[in-house]
Chains A and B, each alone.
Chain A
Amino acid sequence: KAGVTQTPRYLIKTRGQQVTLSCSPISGHRSVSWYQQTPGQGLQFLFEYFSETQRNKGNFPGRFSGRQFSNSRSEMNVSTLELGDSALYLCASSPGLAGVGTRRETQYFGPGTRLLVL
Chain B
Amino acid sequence: KQEVTQIPAALSVPEGENLVLNCSFTDSAIYNLQWFRQDPGKGLTSLLLIQSSQREQTSGRLNASLDKSSGRSTLYIAASQPGDSATYLCAVPGGTSYGKLTFGQGTILTVHP
Contact = CB atoms under 8 A, between A and B. Distances in A.
User: Do chains A and B stick together as partners?
Assistant: yes
Interface of A: 4, 6, 31-33, 35, 42-43, 45, 47-50, 55-56, 58, 88, 90, 92, 94, 101-104, 106-112, 114
A90 B44 contact: yes
A33 B105 contact: no
B58 interface: no
Contacts, number: 77
10 contacts: A32-B99, A42-B105, A45-B100, A45-B101, A47-B99, A56-B99, A103-B31, A103-B97, A107-B34, A109-B46
A107 B46 contact: yes
Interface of B: 31-32, 34, 36, 41-46, 49, 51, 89, 91, 93-95, 97-106
Nearest to A50: B98
Nearest to A113: B43
Contacts of A4: 43
Given A42-B103, A90-B44, A104 B31 contact: yes
A31 B93 CA distance: 14
Given A42-B105, A90-B43, A106 B98 contact: no
Contacts of A110: 43
A33 B100 contact: yes
A55 B93 CA distance: 14
Contacts of B43: 4, 6, 90, 109-112
Contact of B99 (A6, A50, A114): A50
Contacts of A112: 42-43
Given A45-B101, A56-B99, 15 more contacts: A6-B43, A31-B98, A35-B101, A43-B89, A56-B94, A56-B98, A58-B100, A88-B41, A90-B43, A92-B101, A102-B93, A102-B99, A106-B49, A109-B36, A112-B43
